[in-house]
Structure 1
Amino acid sequence: MNSESRVSVRWPVLVVAAAVLLALGAGAAYVGLRSRAPDRSPSNEQAAIPGARVPAAGPGTEQPASSPGASAPLPDVVVTLGQEAAERAGIAATTVSAGTTPGGVRAPGVVEANAYKQVVVTPVVSGRITRVTADLGQHVQRGQTLAQIFSPELADAQTRYISARAELEAHEQELARTEKLVAIGAASRQELERIHAGHTARRADVESAASRLQLLGLSADAIESLGPGKNQGATTNVPAPIGGVVIDRLANVGLNVDQATKLFTVVDLSSVWVVASLYEKDFALVRVGSPATITTNAYPDLALQGRVSYIDPQVSPETRTARVRIEVPNARNDLRLGMYAEAFLGGEGGSPAPMIPRGAVQNVGDRTVVYLVNPKEPGTFVEREVRLGMATGSRVSVLAGVRTGDVVVGEGSFSVRAERERLGLRAVPTSAQRTTGSTSDTQSGPKQGHPTVQDARVRVTERSFDPQRLMLRAGVPARLTFTRTSDKTCATAVVFESLNIRRELPLNVPVTIEFTPDKAGEIAFACGMNMLRGTVAVQ
């Protein structure tokens, strides 16, 4: 092969290499220019404006969905209802008042009988019940007859007493004659001593028979009146050992009983126990003698005062709680056994906080809001997100969102919320509140008309459902999402007893419950152990 042929072979290779190099250079230049190009998206242009505030979105406004877990409050939403419409809806304003947030701890509890004032009634004789005079739930006085029992055992004991007493009387007469004979020398001292010993034995027999009759329920006067032809009969009464209420009755006519048979349970309800469950982290806040305030769902305006009388030294390994016993006066019998109650323990060291009526609060998704009144524009309201504290009676403290002196809708707030949903108004979250890939039907709302689904989210914490009270509208499908955020809680399941719904709550896993409230009222829900409770108010 010569030199010319070698040159002709290398020339095509050089051409291909040059083409590849040109292509690589063009690609690098294109990428560099794209990386320097500014982002002209509308969201970036809006975010670049200093101090810009995103307005409330109307029915046709597109918006990104807010994250359910966003902690920053949403912007205010202005709702215009009109003065006449507000008057027709019965909307009433109230001023945010100054109050004090209690400094104690709340714990769920159950009303139980005072064990020191509860007696199980059993018969003192064996036999057959011939009469029952006490009914279940009846108030009885101490000593009142509850039942009558025919007892062959009682009849036999009376016969033994009468026989022993007759023998004693005969021995007493013999002893008197022997003493006279000894005095005149007609009887020996040995004979007198023998009769003395027999007399003592007979007296002991009489006393033993009398004691037996007392144990069988006969009084001293009744025993004294016994004699030949004067027995008291074989029927004995079963008296009430204490005054109180009959909460259990097992006695029926014809039932054969003995001394171990349970006939009645009588309990004095003048004072009861509220047994609450206290978490480990709250042990330092409560001690024996601490004051306690008891409230119930049955009587929301009634607060009963008591004191902690006992704290269980053992902690339940399942719930990590200790039982706390609170003794509460119950003169009017408002508290019934088995009733759920809420105990507020401690109560010292409270802090000042604004207070609003419970009716002023509405739940929008997983957030709580109130509606401020605009005094300059009647019929115009401002929806503002608030963070609530503890409730006291019919009022609840506000930790953030409003201040003392603000005017809010106290009655009829649901009508304002309904108008907001009808208009499709919703707060658009700021860029700091937005997250990618999450949806929130409650914040986006419907495009027009009434909402097709009512959404609400409930966090299950160590101590309660958050929020504990939800507001829904009758006739509109509801979707409630429960998320258990703590493993140190008894709420491993949620139960809607009236709806026959029970759902397990795995840790940090949202569980959705769907139903349609058909009428106005309240729907109660609770944890699987019936310790933590909440309410769905349907309007």
Structure 2
Amino acid sequence: MKTIYLATVMSFALALAGCGKADEAANEAASNALASAGEAGGEAGHDQEGAITLSSEQIASAGVQVARPLIGGAGTIELPAIIEGDPQGTQVVSAAIAGRVVALNYNLGQSIGRGQTLAVIESREAAQLKGEVEASRARLALANSNLAREQRLFSQRVSPEQDLIAARTAATEARIALTQAQSQVAAAGGGGGGLNRLGIVAPISGQVISRPVVLGQTVAADAELFRIANLSKVSLALNLKAEDASRIQPGNSVKVTAAGREATARVNFVSPALDPQTRLVPMIATLDNGGHKWRVGEPVTAAIQLTGSGGAQSVRVPTTAIQTVEGKSVVFVRTPKGFQATPVTLGDRSSDTVIIRSGLTGREQIATTGSFTLKAELGKSEAAHED
């Protein structure tokens, strides 16, 4: 349309000149046509709002990097975490009585089976407990002997039935006393090899991960002697912000990475309450450790999947690619002449990416680094156009 308009006006100007009109009239008409064409051209260029014209050399010198959006995958939150023993597979072994440690049979890292003796404690209380067992056993033997005698005398009609009943009651009470004394020894540990010694046995199978005592040390009752963990499974302990915790549910996957290793854990607990000290939400995930490649206490990085953060065809871009122009979120899409500021609708955010709900197909090339420079360039272009 612009070409036709120019031709028409120029023809009119020549016709005026041919008819003998003044050259001034012809020149004036041509000038007016060019001015009108310039205005029309300016309006057509302005129709491409948000366009930035830059050469490849200018893009490179500005430090702008271009890449395709990420397709698929869910949004994640990346947090530091610590490997811990599985709470269901970790147990503290304590001294039930006070005494002196005279034997420590296992060291850190060694495997142990349930029921095996970990340590031996020498104590006067142990002597009393074992002595009570022996005394109760002797009383039971005497009570059983008396009961047998009374049964024989009663059958011979020598003793009354009342004596037989009393003997039977005494034997029952002696049996109960022996059972109680044996239970007290078992609760304290049992065994140990001497009247004044008690052996401390392992309540579960696993590995020794802590041994805070040394040989010859005197310990108080309930003092920790060992900590045993079944490390076929370990746990991740994390702390979440309240707004992030609302998007994480038990069963969500957690990608665990550290020192060239990678594995997937599963969330099994998200606390319904904030920690009163940190004001964060505790979370625990379980990680299979059959190969024993993860160590308790080891720092790792955990990328936690967010619930409802996009499907297999979701489009994600780095957060560095998002800028705000005139109150709208935009991404700068590469064009043959430079870039085009494209409005987008944002979805869930993670630590370094954001879901794009609409505005991109995922096949575009976008500015992932240096988008702020492009935003500044866009502002200069619009200001120059207004002038």
Query: Does TM, scored on the shorter chain, surpass 0.5?
Result: yes
Q: Is the 8 A contact 1:75 1:429 kept in 2?
A: no
Q: Is the 8 A contact 1:275 1:325 kept in 2?
A: yes
What SS does the aligned partner of 1:147 have? strand
| 1:9-158 matched pairs, under 5 angstroms | 75=54, 77-78=56-57, 99-111=70-82, 112-158=84-130
Q: Is 2:310 aligned against 1:349?
A: yes
Q: Give me the whole-angstrom Cα distance separating, in 2, the residues matched to 1:317 and 1:199.
A: 57
| 1:498-517 matched pairs, under 5 angstroms | none
The one-letter code matched in structure 1 to 2:259 is A
Q: Give me the whole-angstrom Cα distance separating, in 2, the residues matched to 1:74 and 1:102.
A: 33
Aligned-residue offset at 1:253: 0.9
| 1:444-523 matched pairs, under 5 angstroms | none
The one-letter code matched in structure 2 to 1:121 is V
Tell me: CA distance 1:188–1:115, structure 2 relative to 1, closer, same or farther (3 Å).
Answer: closer
Q: Is 2:283 aligned against 1:311?
A: no
Q: Is 2:379 aligned against 1:432?
A: yes
What SS does the aligned partner of 2:189 have? coil
What SS does the aligned partner of 2:310 have? coil
What SS does the aligned partner of 2:132 have? helix
Q: Give me the whole-angstrom Cα distance separating, in 2, the residues matched to 1:77 and 1:187.
A: 119
Residue 184 of structure 2 is matched in structure 1 by 212
Q: Give me the whole-angstrom Cα distance separating, in 2, the residues matched to 1:74 and 1:275.
A: 50
The one-letter code matched in structure 2 to 1:337 is G
What SS does the aligned partner of 1:160 have? helix
Residue 200 of structure 2 is matched in structure 1 by 238
What SS does the aligned partner of 2:231 have? coil
Q: Is the 8 A contact 1:99 1:397 kept in 2?
A: no
Aligned-residue offset at 1:252: 1.0
What SS does the aligned partner of 2:214 have? coil
Tell me: CA distance 1:99–1:155, structure 2 relative to 1, closer, same or farther (3 Å).
Answer: same
Q: Is the 8 A contact 1:138 1:245 kept in 2?
A: yes
User: Identity of paired residues, percent?
Assistant: 22
What SS does the aligned partner of 1:285 have? coil
Tell me: CA distance 1:163–1:72, structure 2 relative to 1, closer, same or farther (3 Å).
Answer: farther
Tell me: CA distance 1:159–1:323, structure 2 relative to 1, closer, same or farther (3 Å).
Answer: closer
What SS does the aligned partner of 2:79 have? strand
Q: Give me the whole-angstrom Cα distance separating, in 1, the residues matched to 2:298 and 2:272.
A: 23
Aligned-residue offset at 1:267: 2.4
Residue 470 of structure 1 is matched in structure 2 by none
Q: Deviations over 1:343-390 (max 9, x none)?
A: 23337523444899xxxx9xxxxxxxxxx9xxxxxxxxx99x9x9x99
Q: Higher helix share goes to which structure?
A: 2
What SS does the aligned partner of 1:302 have? strand
Residue 167 (structure 1) aligned to one of 115, 125, 139: 139
| 1:224-303 matched pairs, under 5 angstroms | 233-282=195-244, 285-287=247-249, 289-299=250-260, 302-303=262-263
Tell me: CA distance 1:198–1:276, structure 2 relative to 1, closer, same or farther (3 Å).
Answer: closer
Q: Deviations over 1:244-280 (max 9, x none)?
A: 3333221211112243111122223332333444444
Tell me: CA distance 1:125–1:181, structure 2 relative to 1, closer, same or farther (3 Å).
Answer: same
TM-score (norm 1): 0.44
Tell me: CA distance 1:278–1:203, structure 2 relative to 1, closer, same or farther (3 Å).
Answer: closer
The one-letter code matched in structure 2 to 1:240 is A
Q: Is 2:302 aligned against 1:324?
A: no
TM-score (norm 2): 0.59
What SS does the aligned partner of 1:306 have? strand
Cα RMSD for the two superposed structures? 5.2
Q: Deviations over 1:169-188 (max 9, x none)?
A: 33433443444444445545
Tell me: CA distance 1:77–1:297, structure 2 relative to 1, closer, same or farther (3 Å).
Answer: farther
What SS does the aligned partner of 2:282 have? strand
Q: Is the 8 A contact 1:74 1:429 kept in 2?
A: no
Q: Give me the whole-angstrom Cα distance separating, in 1, the residues matched to 2:150 and 2:378.
A: 120
Q: Give me the whole-angstrom Cα distance separating, in 1, the residues matched to 2:172 and 2:97.
A: 29
Segments of 5+ residues of structure 1 without an aligned counterpart are 1-47, 53-70, 82-94, 223-230, 362-371, 373-381, 407-425, 437-539
Q: Larger relative CO (CA 8 A, sep 6+): 1 or 2? A: 2
